[in-house]
Amino acid sequence: MGDLQNATAIWAKGILFILLGLFAATLLLLFAPDWRVAGLLCLSIWAFCRAYYFAFYVIEHYVDPGYKFAGLIDFAKYAAGIRRD
């Protein structure tokens, strides 16, 4: 499968990710309506966003500028020391 090139499809994909996240968060809070669950959900979302930023921005710009990642699996291989040709 090739890279997604169509700008409209990329925007649609991004919007669908946001809608999916909002839907899942809403269902979680409906099933467990507690401020602690809401706080932990916010903390989890924030932490995963920072981890994603770390994997794709910090590593590529500050640690190894010559290495470009294709996705999270590619980053995991890089972090484990598995180098591609």
- Identify the residue with better confidence: 75 or 2: 75
pLDDT for res 6: 87
Three-class SS of 67-80: CCCCCHHHHHHHHC
Residue 64 contacts by C-beta under 8 Å, 6 or more apart in sequence? 78
What does the pLDDT look like over 32-55, one tens digit per residue? Answer: 999 999 999 999 999 999 998 988
Domain chopping of the chain, boundaries: 1-32, 34-85
> pTM (2 decimals)?
0.71
More confident site: 45 or 1 = 45
**What's the average model confidence in pLDDT over 69-84?**
82
pLDDT confidence of residue 40? 96
Residue corresponding to tokens 């309506």: 33
